Structure 1
Amino acid sequence: MTELTVRFEDAFGAAPDGVWQAPGRVNLIGEHTDYNEGFVLPFAIDKTAKVALRIRHDSKVRLLSTFGDQGIVEAELSGLSPEAVADGSIKGWSKYPLGVVWALRQRGVEVPGFDLLLDSDVPLGAGLSSSHAIECAVISALNDITGAGLAAEDMVLATQQAENNFVGAPTGIMDQSASLRGSKGKAVFLDCRDQSVKLVPFDAESAGLVLLVIDTKVSHSHADGGYASRRASCELGARLMGVPALRDLAVEQLDDARTVLDDITFRRVRHVVTENARVLETVKQLAAGGAGSIGRLLDASHTSMRDDFEISCPELDLAVDTARSHGAIGARMTGGGFGGSAIALTPVGLEQQVRDAVARSFLDAGFTAPDIFTVTPAAGATRLS
């Protein structure tokens, strides 16, 4: 019996029906391209959200987490609505599992009441998709328990609906796709227009490299205005350029775009168009030259996010610049921006040097000490028991 099942029994008085887990993700490259129907290259990481769940014989949902002091959160299935989130009746981490329940019910899935205990070691607010890890663990559990038989692609769209229409975060499908469709040792090359996936080997170790994550401790939220305004700029740019989505603009059309769009919209568009091209080039480089050949693409991606999309922050820039100057072959912020984490592809022999230099630079700047750790591509969502 695992510690989580013991804690579940202590909290709810009976054993769970099962335990499921879903990983967070690191996005290797391809930022803010997903909701523009473009290309992304994330991978599932070896940090996960686990849920123990037991079906009830009424319409009540009871939620408890191993972190925080919110205690057991109770909700009625009939009371789940976006309006309840908007008026504050549903708040905190409970929005994510309850949003999944709401989205499944919108799809006609008969979700019964249940008790749930959450345990997660995906850092919160770090741009590693802690919220989607929760959602993907919950939807995996409910898909099994209810016998709904949803394919991974359907679960991706259901969790996106939960994010967009229940939580109120205008996110794309990248994070869920990595969490639900990831594979050990592979990055997930996803075409966000049709959800087609190709698993691409990403083996930093064989190239003598590690992928460091530098969690700046600057928390971010996709439900705030910065993310939404970037998405709105992209939609405006596509409309003014006469294309269904920015995915349909080629790099060669940017000169024309400059004459049509205002400066801010143009720079938002330029980031997405060139980022799509960088994702495609990264996939080619990984096949031809391995992980050691993509450093310059990571660097270019960060510059574009910092200058054109303007979603970086001083802590992220310091992490990236310091890692590069102390031996990383490429570095970039990862995730939606406005905080969160950077990644640094680093030779094994220089890992400690980079770690020490970044920690020292944050101390000197008066920033909160970062959390620095390595990640490797891990398996996607699964049932544990």
Structure 2
Amino acid sequence: MHRHAPAGVWSAPGRVNLIGEHTDYNDGFVLPFALPFRIAVAARARADGLLSIATVGDDGRPQRAGPVPVDALEPGGVTGWAAYPAGVGWVLRHEGFSSGADLVIAGDVPAGAGLSSSHALQCATALALLGLAGTELDEPGAPGRAEVAAWVQRSENDFVGVPTGLLDQTASLCCVEAHVLFLDVRSGEMEQVPFDTAEAGLDVLVIDTRARHSHGESGYRERRAGCERAAELLGVPALRDIESAGLDDAISRLPDNLRPLVRHVVAENERVRRVVELLRADRIAETGDLLSASHASLRDDYRVSCLELDVAVEAARAAGALGARMTGGGFGGSAIALVPQDERGTIGDKVVAAFAERSLPAPGLFTAVPARGAGRDI
């Protein structure tokens, strides 16, 4: 592709999940927002039915995969990083959008930070391949954004082999600026809830712990399987169907190893609802305690935290954050802290100092501002 101009460039953002962790694959509620960091895919069509993929790294050196025939794409046939965009090509072929393409990928979503870089890549690839087929999102007759999110989920579940839920794909495709996305995963119902932290004198501080995060290598599968088993034992379609009032009774009917998983999911769904109520009432500062309660639940019941995430959360809270929690699947990645704007620098410094005291690598810090979802750039 370096000798030819692309037909277009499409991009998709990473995301922060404000609250609602490990609830998506339990048919529950989530509350993400998109980040300004994006993965971009420059693309042009090929007439020979081959798919060629290249990435541009920080050092400017490309990594290449393929070309492979689109019609020959099957699960297990492409491995490593290239499986993510190839899987999207596989799904779109089955949906009637099959064409050869050259793809060049670049972006600034931190990889392994639990900010959904892999889903940003897949969503941008989906938009690029659809665009080459003459279909742009939001045009008459085009697939809906929620439908494309489900396609991306299918590519990751069935082609890449990672059993993720719908949170990240939907956030990347459907979030809008200055809002969080209140998503009911079961029904697909969405509400864009205003989230103007600056108006409240607050920032969302993201703390990239540098502890690398991967759904494929973590205990994610084990947790998900445990939730599915618990729902089966309780005779409900998903843990979303257990309400807070019936939690004690439900837990009493489960083996010990499944009880903490159910307790977290039920309580987390309730926390999402309560945060949404506070945001609708323009009471952002009052959400802090719920964020902290979410982290405690993820740490103690769901057991997906780690030393770096706990240090980040504890240091931020001790330094004056209104609340803090890990964000993303866990086992590494990033934490978020709701902080007063005028204390953001001091809190960040104290978090860095806490990492140094533990002889941990210095974390990355940035302020998260809700950004636009995926779309065509050029």
Q: Normalising by the residue count of structure 1, what TM-score does the alignment of the two structures yield?
A: 0.94
Amino acid corresponding to residue 63 of structure 1 in structure 2 = I
User: Secondary structure of 1:164's partner?
Assistant: helix
Query: How many corresponding residue pairs?
Result: 369
User: Secondary structure of 1:71's partner?
Assistant: strand
Please say if 1:97 is aligned against 2:85: yes
> Cα distance, 1:70 vs. partner?
6.0
Distance 2:122 2:339 in 1: 32
More displaced 10-residue stretch of structure 1: 123-132 or 64-73: 64-73
The equivalences for 1:213-252 within 5 A come to 213-252=206-245
User: Secondary structure of 1:127's partner?
Assistant: coil
> Cα distance, 1:242 vs. partner?
1.0
Does the CA contact (< 8 Å) of 1:37 and 1:193 recur in 2?
A: yes
Distance 1:123 1:302 in 2: 22
Distance 2:236 2:154 in 1: 24
Does the CA contact (< 8 Å) of 2:176 and 2:371 recur in 1?
A: yes
Distance 1:231 1:70 in 2: 35
The equivalences for 1:298-309 within 5 A come to 298-309=291-302
Report the equivalent of 1:170: 163
Amino acid corresponding to residue 183 of structure 2 in structure 1 = L
Deviations 1:223-271 (A, max 9, x none): 1350000000100111111111101001111211222112220100110
Report the equivalent of 1:73: 65
> Cα distance, 1:188 vs. partner?
0.5
Distance 1:266 1:277 in 2: 17
Does the CA contact (< 8 Å) of 1:213 and 1:375 recur in 2?
A: yes
Runs of 4+ in 1 over 4 A off after TM superposition: none
User: Secondary structure of 1:118's partner?
Assistant: strand
> Cα distance, 1:209 vs. partner?
0.6
Amino acid corresponding to residue 88 of structure 2 in structure 1 = V
Of 106, 127, 139, which residue of structure 1 is paired with 2:94?
106
Please say if 1:50 is aligned against 2:40: yes
Please say if 1:123 is aligned against 2:113: no
Distance 2:251 2:146 in 1: 36
> Cα distance, 1:92 vs. partner?
2.5
Does the CA contact (< 8 Å) of 1:51 and 1:118 recur in 2?
A: yes
Report the equivalent of 1:4: none
> Cα distance, 1:315 vs. partner?
0.3
Amino acid corresponding to residue 131 of structure 2 in structure 1 = D
> Cα distance, 1:191 vs. partner?
0.5
Does the CA contact (< 8 Å) of 2:218 and 2:331 recur in 1?
A: no
Does the CA contact (< 8 Å) of 1:202 and 1:290 recur in 2?
A: no
Report the equivalent of 2:348: 355
> Cα distance, 1:217 vs. partner?
0.7
User: Secondary structure of 1:321's partner?
Assistant: helix
Report the equivalent of 2:173: 180
More displaced 10-residue stretch of structure 1: 313-322 or 137-146: 137-146
Report the equivalent of 2:357: 364
Distance 1:329 1:48 in 2: 28
Of 22, 34, 40, which residue of structure 2 is paired with 1:32?
22
Does the CA contact (< 8 Å) of 1:160 and 1:173 recur in 2?
A: yes
The equivalences for 1:144-159 within 5 A come to 144-148=131-135, 149-159=142-152
Please say if 1:142 is aligned against 2:113: no
Report the equivalent of 1:206: 199
- Give the RMSD, CA atoms, in angstroms: 1.2
User: Secondary structure of 2:76's partner?
Assistant: helix
> Cα distance, 1:366 vs. partner?
1.1
Of 325, 334, 338, which residue of structure 2 is paired with 1:332?
325
More displaced 10-residue stretch of structure 1: 294-303 or 260-269: 260-269
> Cα distance, 1:106 vs. partner?
2.2
% same residue:
49
> Cα distance, 1:73 vs. partner?
1.2
Report the equivalent of 1:41: 31
Structure 2: runs of 5+ lacking an equivalent: 136-141
Which structure has greater helix proportion? 1
Report the equivalent of 2:138: none
The equivalences for 1:286-297 within 5 A come to 286-297=279-290
> Cα distance, 1:17 vs. partner?
0.2
Amino acid corresponding to residue 259 of structure 1 in structure 2 = S
User: Secondary structure of 2:295's partner?
Assistant: helix
Deviations 1:27-56 (A, max 9, x none): 000000001000000011110001100001
Q: Normalising by the residue count of structure 2, what TM-score does the alignment of the two structures yield?
A: 0.95
Please say if 1:161 is aligned against 2:154: yes
User: Secondary structure of 1:83's partner?
Assistant: coil
Distance 1:81 1:363 in 2: 46
User: Secondary structure of 1:351's partner?
Assistant: helix
Distance 1:339 1:324 in 2: 19
Deviations 1:40-98 (A, max 9, x none): 000111100011000011121111111175632112213311122xxxxx223211110
Deviations 1:281-340 (A, max 9, x none): 000011114321200110000000000000000000000000000011010000001000
Distance 1:188 1:225 in 2: 26
